[in-house]
Amino acid sequence: MVVIFLALGMKAEARRWLLRCLDGGYHAFSRRLLFRISAQRAHELMLRTLLIGERLPFTVAIAKLLRSLCHAPKPTEVGGVQLSQPLIVAAGLVKGRGFADEAAALRALQKRQHNIMPGWRLLPALAGPVEFGSFTRFPRLGNAGTVVWRDEKTLSTQNRVGLRNPGARAAALFLRQRRERLPAEFGINIAVSPGVRDNAQQERDICESLGFFLDAGLMPSWFTLNLSCPNTEDDPQQHQLEAETRRLCGAFIKLLRARGLEIPLWVKVSPGLADGQYRALVRIFDEVGVKAVVATNTLAQPSPGAATLTAGLGGGRLHAAALRAVDALTAANAMRGYALDIIGCGGVLDGDSLHAYRQRGVKAAQYWSALVYRGPFAAAILEEEWAAHERRFEAIQREVLA
Ligand SMILES: Cc1cc2nc3c(=O)[nH]c(=O)nc-3n(C[C@H](O)[C@H](O)[C@H](O)COP(=O)(O)O)c2cc1C
């Protein structure tokens, strides 16, 4: 059918038809089956599927073909990066296995075929730009037990994965071993080390993490500094205070410049901060040369597993708080005449929620929960829903003017 449409030159019509099939198919089959098992098991199954998919010979080629059929090119310049499309898979999916220590992570890498970062190849092939990470200086096993939940009624997710990752050194070496097959556009998200209280140590940790990726000769399209992980029982706001933010972002950019690299730095912030704090952050970002702010990370809420612990809320129930953060950041930007780009993140689940960001002048957005609720072709489906929304709006405008 698609081939017939294409042969007739009806590319847009063929794409819409294909997207309707993929969206309907996901709702009717995959999502229905996946939602019969717990969010935790579904999450593990998804990572396993990526792992197996990356072992099979033709999956990446098929994924690329599907993407080329589903996505209308929409080049977007944001945060100092030229992207092929404005929707980016957010950090937290392609971040790799956790390890007890660096030696164990490096040992796993010695088996060259051992994939410690499922999704590194298949997800970009299928979905386009992906932010890898978060990576911390040393590996982390993350929190034990159930760490992922979903609330279907509100299209929300909650997690307390706790920054499980193989550590920056192993992640950099893993990606270096596969340098020729890395996607054309991807970001690397580096997080401050939870639990490290000493300022100088924090700074050393993020600079060493960055150094591993640079020494490996990796040239991501952007780096993101994650100052806002709520799932480690650390005080996440601490890193978003003025002096702390200036020091960490300043050190990061200084190191990039010392290497003569123009790779832009984005910073990921929390929802729910006071307007004054967002204003201060925007001022610092402008002063030190941060190119974009990702607004926002998940919102710290009591964990569904144990109310004394926190688990970051994403999806539908995060949307309003993320929009409030975008509003505060936009106002600060406008008041001072700064050129900081804002990348929306939080509850981008359909054409309307995407529109809410675009209405605010947001050029690009990141998504995670949409993968759960809309499936692997979420970006293309959301773009199409947004375009339909725009077409309807234009038609109404024409009618009113006629
Ligand atoms: C299971 C899971 C793990 C995540 N891990 C990270 C992470 O390591 N680093 C990070 O910056 N954000 C992480 N996030 C947050 C997402 O990147 C995103 O900011 C958040 O889910 C809000 O987007 P959404 O409403 O589209 O889900 C994680 C989210 C989920 C659901």
User: 317 is written with which tokens?
Assistant: 């129930």
Cβ(159) to ligand 1 under 6 A? yes
Q: Determine the distance separating the centroid of ligand 1 and the alpha carbon of 402, expressed in angstroms.
A: 46
> What is the tens place of the pLDDT at every residue in 291-302?
999 999 999 999
Coil, strand or helix at 4: helix
Cβ(90) to ligand 1 under 6 A? yes
Cβ(59) to ligand 1 under 6 A? no
Q: Which DSSP symbol is given to 365?
A: E
Atom of ligand 1 nearest to the CA of 294: 19
Shared-domain flag, residues 83 and 217: yes
Based on its alpha-carbon atoms, the radius of gyration of the chain, rounded to whole angstroms, reads: 21
Cβ(134) to ligand 1 under 6 A? yes
Shared-domain flag, residues 137 and 165: yes
pLDDT(116) > 60 = yes
CA distance 46 to 291: 33
Atom of ligand 1 nearest to the CA of 319: 25
Cβ(163) to ligand 1 under 6 A? yes
Q: Looking at ligand 1, which residue's alpha carbon is closest to its atom 28? A: 92
- What values do phi and psi take at 366, rounded to 5? -110, 155
> To which H or E segment does residue 396 belong?
helix 378-401
Q: Looking at ligand 1, which residue's alpha carbon is closest to its atom 10? A: 91
Q: Looking at ligand 1, which residue's alpha carbon is closest to its atom 5? A: 92
Strands 156-159 and 148-151: antiparallel
- C-alpha 58 chain-centroid distance: 26
CA distance 356 to 334: 18
Q: Are 46 and 114 in contact (CB under 8 A)?
A: no
Shared-domain flag, residues 28 and 92: no
pLDDT(249) > 90 = yes
| Closest-CA residue to 239 (of 297, 303, 186, 165) | 297
Domain that holds residue 56: 42-401
Shared-domain flag, residues 298 and 365: yes
For the chain, how many structural domains are there in total?
2
Cβ(268) to ligand 1 under 6 A? yes
Q: Determine the distance separating the centroid of ligand 1 and the alpha carbon of 99, expressed in angstroms.
A: 20
> What is the tens place of the pLDDT at every residue in 181-207?
999 999 999 999 888 888 899 999 999
Shared-domain flag, residues 130 and 24: no
Shared-domain flag, residues 114 and 91: yes
pLDDT(14) > 60 = yes
Cβ(156) to ligand 1 under 6 A? no
Shared-domain flag, residues 19 and 120: no
Cβ(346) to ligand 1 under 6 A? yes
Q: Determine the distance separating the centroid of ligand 1 and the alpha carbon of 391, expressed in angstroms.
A: 31
Place of tokens 């992906």: 130
Q: Determine the distance separating the centroid of ligand 1 and the alpha carbon of 134, expressed in angstroms.
A: 9
Cβ(348) to ligand 1 under 6 A? yes
CA distance 27 to 91: 24
Shared-domain flag, residues 137 and 20: no
Q: Determine the distance separating the centroid of ligand 1 and the alpha carbon of 90, expressed in angstroms.
A: 6
Banded pLDDT at 393 (limits 50, 70, 90) = confident
Strands 130-135 and 148-151: unpaired
CATH value at residue 97: 3.20.20.70
CA distance 145 to 266: 32
Distances (CA, A) of 324 to 176, 240, 275, 278, 295: 39, 17, 9, 11, 9
> What is the tens place of the pLDDT at every residue in 79-108?
999 999 999 999 999 999 999 999 999 999
Shared-domain flag, residues 134 and 239: yes
**Residue 228 β-bridge partners:** none
Strands 130-135 and 76-78: unpaired
Shared-domain flag, residues 128 and 209: yes
Shared-domain flag, residues 4 and 134: no
Residue type at 197? R
pLDDT(250) > 80 = yes
Per-residue model confidence (pLDDT) at position 286: 96
For the chain, percent of residues with pLDDT exceeding 90: 82
State mean pLDDT over 387-395: 87
Shared-domain flag, residues 21 and 46: no
Per-residue model confidence (pLDDT) at position 397: 85
Per-residue model confidence (pLDDT) at position 8: 53
